[in-house]
Chain A
Amino acid sequence: MLSGVDLKSRSMIDGDSIFPFRHRHLLGIEGLVPPEISLILDRSEVYVEQNRRADKKQSLLRGRTIINLFFEASTRTRTSFELAGKRLGADVINMSLSTSSIRKGETVIDTAMTLNAMHPDVLVIRHPESGAVKLLSEKVNCSIINAGDGSHEHPTQALLDALTIRRRMGRLSGLKVAICGDILHSRVARSNIHLLNIMGARVRVVAPRTLLPSAVERLGVEVFHDMRKGLQGCDIVMMLRLQNERMQGNYIPSIREYFHFFGLDYEKLSRASGEALIMHPGPMNRGVEIDSVVADDFGRSVIREQVEMGLAVRMACLELLTANAAGADAPNL
């Protein structure tokens, strides 16, 4: 998924970092190596501080064009990328294509190539089909950030989750993380499983068997069907959104039953470590996968902090990828 990295070459961004980020696109977490992830998180820290100042804007990406190309509805991720680009001084355009040219019969590839002809520097793409962003990356000559493709990957979500955890816990390595809910359909789960494994955390998944993909243990996770056991001693509890349309495929019999066995409440949470953090990629279904009171627990829920970290992580990704595009030797992946 990502090209090999020349260990000897230096980062073009940060004179202090000994490790480069030389990918042209960010299509997924799978295939990244620990120093690359650390580099993104380190750069993100800088933007967390900058975003907390009164003057949030800088001109690093002045003159650059970023197009948010969303083939699937999104408010949070799209807004986050838009703000990230604007804070770096880039021109940002949003295109939501579930409504325009797709209806007219234009193919996904045609749309991307049309936009590519306008010379954007970065395309941020979300698409409802797994692999669609990778397909488009083969057709354009700008950088691409995968903002979520089907059930495949959502790399910036995993990075923002990692940043949130690292800031709170001081590390990723050795932590016990339980990812709970609809693993089967979740790109957030896949990206997080990859990232946490790469960084040396211990990952568990907790779900009814109907919401687990086949051979999921081959991704390097421990599988639990009993949430109380799954949360035992965990440092992080990551909840996933349960989409309402999952009721149709007989994945679960009812919301009530799902919450009874797999919804996060204080009783189940009590099995986790006393300082366990509660995370959720949003938007939440209160009372479906997470109890409202738990979600709003100021001491333990870091759900709002995740949103803040998301902005910083996306700024770091934009910075790193555009810096590569300026260099002549960025490999084509």
Chain B
Amino acid sequence: MPVRSEAAPPRAAYVNARLLDPATRLDQPGGLLTEGEAILDFGAHVTQGALPGDAEVIDCAGQCLAPGLVDIRVQLREPGEEHKGTLASAGRAATAGGITSMVCLPNTHPVIDDISVVEFVARRARLLGLTKVYPYGAVTRGLEGKDLAELGMLGEAGAVAFTDGVKAIASAKVMRQALLYARTFDLLIVEHPEEPSLALGGDMNAGEVATRLGLIGIPREAEVILVERDIHLVRMTGSRLHFAHLSTAAAIDAVRKAKESGLPITCDTAPPYFAMNENAVGDYRTFAKLSPPLRAEEDRLAVIEGLRDGTIDAIASDHAPEDEDAKRQPFAQAAFGGIGLETLLAISLELYHNGHCTLLDVLRLISCRPADLMGLPAGRLAKGAPADLTLFDPDRAWQVREHELYSKSKNTPFDYRPVQGRVLMTVVDGRRVFALG
């Protein structure tokens, strides 16, 4: 259950833990001492017998103590659609998922295209004291794909990167201008890579399943077409660009080649794209209606390969809360998106349990690497760093059940899935904000 302490304890010692730090590839038994909001010390020498007398002692019982997870793609729905999700409900879900920092998309009402909205989100999140929230700013005003938002001022106000959220920047001209202008201030643009006219009206991945169900297909080529276009624009402008939630073999291959040629391009994917394929739509399951759509099995395998070989830099939850009214609809009318904060760790750990990645590599994809991409002070065990921690049991089995999740909306594509890996405790700035009840 979420717990809240008003202030961080002066000193707390997490002893008898398996310390994991993917940035330094640390994996050893030991303890970690916090003072106020920061990490004071950690290592094998931090044991029960060698602590300052005033430290509160937490016995980790040999479980994994790692940097708090960092989720770089979350839709909060506040302000504007609080019936689907709020900063508070997402904060509770995120802390239950071991996430201590998250970056939220600007597709709220109003859109985060104005410094006042950046400040509103930051202030509300700070008051809640749960998972830290960093906003994306919009690339274009109103996410309309036409006129640039005030990227420089939004960046000064605290927007960590810029994206038009769940919409691609359709115009190549606008994208070029955005990249060039962003480079002026060394800002990062994040693209939802989907060629809009090719995807328009589509319900799910084009292929046999869509054909059988009589649903309109979104061709896989919609993704790689935009990725290739943007790669050329990056080559032209020299700007940094990050592709969100890649889902197809062709797009991952294009990014792999672009990286090999030295372009400043990065990308992430989301758990559904390496844990499921289009068959999950089954008999019109709207919880499996995602954007981008779940793809073919060969794409799923290519996503895993991209994670293994480092082409894909990070895993983000792509948390997209939708209420029952938006999902209990004929498939074509149902909203896209699934929640993911509380399943990010468990589904990512499937990569470890299935032998594709080491435990440290999985953690790297959901902590230090995404933190570095967004320039966040997070994702590391380091003396003096914020005491943002996740204590988890990588082996504990549980079953995802929508009604047991903290998220306000329950639209998880993983409902009923048996998973391994459970968050036991989450610490933000030295405060224990979640402990498994």
Q: Which residues of A contact B (CB under 8 A)?
A: 1, 30, 107-109, 127, 129-132, 134-135, 149-153, 187, 190, 213-216, 218-219
Contacts and interface: CB of A to CB of B under 8 A. Distances in A.
Most chain A CB within a 10 A radius of its CB, from B207, B212, B215, B283? B212
A130 B329 CA distance: 11
Given A129-B332, A134-B284, A215-B207, A150 B212 contact: no
B251 interface: no
Q: Closest 8 interchain pairs by CB?
A: A152-B214, A131-B284, A151-B214, A129-B330, A130-B214, A132-B330, A213-B211, A218-B208
Given A130-B332, A134-B283, A214-B219, A152 B213 contact: yes
Given A130-B213, A214-B206, 8 more contacts: A107-B325, A108-B329, A108-B330, A129-B330, A130-B214, A151-B214, A213-B210, A214-B219
A1 B212 CA distance: 12
Nearest to A139: B328
Contact of A190 (B214, B283, B332, B333): B214
A109 B211 contact: no
B206 A219 contact: no
Contacts of B328: 107, 109, 135
A2 to B, nearest CB: 11
B218 to A, nearest CB: 10
A129 B213 contact: no
A192 B333 CA distance: 26
B142 interface: no
B217 interface: yes
B331 interface: yes
Contacts of A213: 210-211, 217
B406 to A, nearest CB: 27
Nearest to B206: A214
Contacts of A218: 208, 211
Contact of B215 (A1, A131, A216): A131
A164 to B, nearest CB: 23
Nearest to A129: B330
A152 B331 CA distance: 12
A216 B212 CA distance: 8
Interface in B209-247: 210-215, 217, 219
Given A135-B284, A219-B211, A214 B217 contact: yes
A152 B281 CA distance: 14
Most chain A CB within a 10 A radius of its CB, from B207, B214, B219, B331? B214
A285 B284 CA distance: 32
B19 to A, nearest CB: 49
A129 B210 contact: no
A107 B219 CA distance: 30
Contacts of B329: 107-108, 135
Given A127-B330, A129-B330, A130-B330, A1 B210 contact: no
Contact of B211 (A127, A132, A214): A214
B207 A131 contact: no
Contact of A131 (B208, B211, B331): B331
A135 B330 contact: yes
Most chain B CB within a 10 A radius of its CB, from A108, A127, A130, A134? A130
Most chain A CB within a 10 A radius of its CB, from B206, B219, B328? B328
A132 B329 CA distance: 8
Nearest to A149: B214
B207 A129 contact: no
A146 to B, nearest CB: 11
A191 to B, nearest CB: 10
A101 to B, nearest CB: 16
A129 B333 contact: yes
Interface in B269-326: 283-284, 325
Contacts of A130: 213-215, 284, 330-332
Contacts of B208: 214-215, 218-219
A187 B211 contact: no
Contacts of A109: 328
A30 B214 CA distance: 12
B209 to A, nearest CB: 9
Contacts of A129: 330-333
Contacts of B211: 213-216, 218-219
A224 to B, nearest CB: 17
7 contacts: A129-B332, A131-B215, A131-B283, A190-B214, A213-B217, A214-B219, A219-B212
A109 B324 CA distance: 12
Nearest to A135: B330
Nearest to A218: B208
A131 B330 contact: yes
Nearest to A108: B330
A215 B219 CA distance: 12
Contacts of B325: 107
A219 B325 CA distance: 33
A262 B213 CA distance: 25
B285 to A, nearest CB: 10
Most chain A CB within a 10 A radius of its CB, from B206, B210, B213, B328? B213
Contacts of B212: 30, 190, 219
Contacts of B210: 213-214
A66 to B, nearest CB: 23
B332 A150 contact: yes
Nearest to A130: B214
A200 to B, nearest CB: 20
Given A1-B283, A108-B330, A131 B213 contact: yes
B217 to A, nearest CB: 5
Nearest to A131: B284
Contacts of A190: 212, 214
Contacts of B219: 214
A216 B219 CA distance: 14
Contacts of A151: 214-215
Most chain B CB within a 10 A radius of its CB, from A1, A127, A214? A214
Nearest to B215: A130
A68 to B, nearest CB: 19
Contacts of A187: 214
B327 to A, nearest CB: 11
Contacts of B215: 130-131, 150-152
A214 B206 CA distance: 6
